[in-house]
Structure 1
C-alpha cells in the first residue's frame, strides 16, 4: 500500500510506453496517495480500468530527482523496470530540464540520460549470487543452473542462466524463441520451486553477431511486448557465457534495445520512451475497489 492520504475526486494519470511495454504513471510528488492493492489492480485492468503492464507511482525523495515505485497488474510491488525507468527519465527531463535524471527505486538509484529520441539508463551492476537472484537451495554458480527443462518442453535446455537486475530472471537459450509456446511455458517456469520469489522467464535465440531474439514472460504480468530488465539480464548472460563481448542488440516483440556495459561493469540500456495519452481517474470509481 502507498503512503496514507485521502483519494481526490479526480486523479490525473499519464499513459507511457517503451517498445509497447506500457505504464500508467501517477504523480504523487505533491500529494501523497493511499492506494490499496485492489485499487492498483483495478487501474491496471485492461477491460475495466486503464490497462497497463505496470503502474508507476512517482514520489518525492531527497535522494534523487524522483522516487519511482513499480506495481504489477495484480497490485504487487516490484523492484525495477527498465522500460519504465526510461519513460520516467524522459518525463522528468521534459518537465524540469534535468539531465542526467536520478531515479530512486527499490533496486537502488538509477540514472537516465536523454539522447534525442532515446534514453540511456545505467541499470547498475547485475546480482549473480545464488541467494541474490534468489534461487532455492545453493550451488557453485548461476551461469548454468541444472534444470529439467524437458519436463516442461523438450525443446528447452537442461540448464538456465540466472541474473537479478532488480528482479529475478531465468534465461533459457533455445534454437528458436518464436517456436516455443511461451504462453504455457512461462507460467510453469515462473512459479517453479527453483524461484522462491517467482521469476521473469526469457526465451533467447541468436540471430546474428551480437544480436538476439528474446521473448519474455513477466511474473504476475504475463507475456509483454518488451521488458528492459530482461533485455539487460539476457545481455549479462550471453556475456558471461562468452557468446559476445561488446554491445548487444536485443530484439523484443515491441522493438530493439541496445545493451552495453561500462568500465565498472554497469549495464547500460538504450531505447525509446513516449507518452501515449493523458487522462484522469474518477475517485469514486477507484474508491469502490477498496479492499
Structure 2
C-alpha cells in the first residue's frame, strides 16, 4: 500500500476544513478519518496564517484511535509545532464529531499526546471535559527545580516573578496580578514562555482574583502568543489558586469574550471544565506541496 505525503513544493492539494472557536480561541479542524492528511510544519503555518491562510491559534486533526478510545486528537500550534493538550480545542472536537455524525455518543474518550480526555456534550449545548489529574512534580511538567513547591521564584529581566507551576497535559506557569488589563502579558509572556527552566517552553497565565469563586485570566500561549481564551490555562489557574488558598473548588473564569467554569476537588482528583464551542464555517483550501511516496 502507498501513502502520499505532501510537503512544500509544486503539487497542489485540496483540503476540507471547519473553522471553530471556543470563546474566541480559534481553530482549523480537519477530519483525518475521511480524507488523507499529512501536513508539513510549513503547511500548518500556512493554514494558521491570518493573512495568507485561514487563520487560527491551533490546527486540530481528528484521527482514528490507536487504543480503546473513540478518537485520537492532535493539536498543532500556529508555529507548526505539535503540543500535548488544548482545553478549548477539546470542546470544539466533541462538538465537531457529534454534529458531523462521526459518533452518536454525547460522552467520548479521546486520545491526546498529553493523555486521555473525556469530553461530554450537555443537553444545553455546553460541553464539559474531564481534563485529567493535574501534575505538580517539576520533572513531570517539565520545570527545572530541585523539589515541588507551592510557588517558585522566576528571574525575568532582572526581576523576580512568583509563579505556580502545573501541567494540565501541557505546562503552565501562573502568576497572580492586581489587574489583568495592565499585566505585562505581551512583553513578559514571551520571556516566560521561552525561559530556560522550562525545557519544552510553557504557557504563561496572568490571574486576577475577583473573589473566591470568580477570576479574570489572560494567557500567553506557547507557540501561539496571547489568545482570547485558553481552556487548559483556565484549569491551571484555578488549580493553582485553590492550592494557594485563594479560591473555592468551583470557579468562573472570565476571558475577554466569555466565561468558562472550572471545578477541582483537590489533590489526585480530575479537573472538570465547562464552556461553549461554536462552528463558524466550512471550507476548502488548496495547499502547495510536493508528493513523496512511502510504503506502509
TM-score (normalised: structure 2): 0.89
Is 1:148 aligned to residue 147 of structure 2? no
Distance (whole Å) between structure 2 residues aligned to residue 202 and residue 268 of structure 1: 18
Choose from 228, 232, 252 the match for 2:235.
232
Name the structure 1 match of 2:175: 172
Q: Secondary structure at the match of 1:39?
A: helix
Name the structure 2 match of 1:120: 128
In structure 2, runs of 5+ residues without a counterpart are 7-11
Name the structure 2 match of 1:5: 4
Choose from 91, 97, 104 the match for 1:92.
97
Is 1:286 aligned to residue 288 of structure 2? yes
Q: How does 1:157-236 map to 2 (within 5 A)?
A: 158-236=161-239
Name the structure 1 match of 2:259: 256
Distance (whole Å) between structure 1 residues aligned to residue 182 and residue 244 of structure 2: 23
Question: In the TM superposition, what is the alpha-carbon distance from 1:149 to its structure 2 partner?
Answer: 5.0
Q: Secondary structure at the match of 1:126?
A: coil
Question: In the TM superposition, what is the alpha-carbon distance from 1:30 to its structure 2 partner?
Answer: 3.0
Distance (whole Å) between structure 2 residues aligned to residue 66 and residue 101 of structure 1: 8
Is 1:57 aligned to residue 58 of structure 2? no
Name the structure 2 match of 1:69: 74
In structure 1, runs of 5+ residues without a counterpart are none
Q: How does 1:13-24 map to 2 (within 5 A)?
A: 13-24=17-28
Distance (whole Å) between structure 2 residues aligned to residue 262 and residue 54 of structure 1: 30
Question: In the TM superposition, what is the alpha-carbon distance from 1:246 to its structure 2 partner?
Answer: 1.9
User: Which range moves more in the overlay, 214-223 or 141-150?
Assistant: 141-150
Change (3 A) 1:15 1:289: farther
Q: Secondary structure at the match of 1:5?
A: strand
Change (3 A) 1:150 1:213: farther
8 A contact 1:142–1:163 mirrored in 2:
no
Question: In the TM superposition, what is the alpha-carbon distance from 1:93 to its structure 2 partner?
Answer: 2.3
Change (3 A) 1:172 1:248: same
Superposed CA RMSD in Å reads 2.1
Question: In the TM superposition, what is the alpha-carbon distance from 1:288 to its structure 2 partner?
Answer: 7.0
Q: How does 1:132-143 map to 2 (within 5 A)?
A: 132-136=140-144, 138-143=145-150
The structure whose RCO (Cα within 8 Å, separation 6+) is larger is: 2
Q: How does 1:23-38 map to 2 (within 5 A)?
A: 23-38=27-42
Question: In the TM superposition, what is the alpha-carbon distance from 1:279 to its structure 2 partner?
Answer: 0.2
Question: In the TM superposition, what is the alpha-carbon distance from 1:14 to its structure 2 partner?
Answer: 0.3
Distance (whole Å) between structure 2 residues aligned to residue 159 and residue 221 of structure 1: 23
Distance (whole Å) between structure 1 residues aligned to residue 280 and residue 127 of structure 2: 17
Question: In the TM superposition, what is the alpha-carbon distance from 1:233 to its structure 2 partner?
Answer: 0.3
TM-score (normalised: structure 1): 0.91
Q: Secondary structure at the match of 1:287?
A: strand
Distance (whole Å) between structure 1 residues aligned to residue 205 and residue 291 of structure 2: 33
User: Which range moves more in the overlay, 93-102 or 159-168?
Assistant: 93-102
Instruction: Please identify which structure carries the higher strand content.
Output: 2
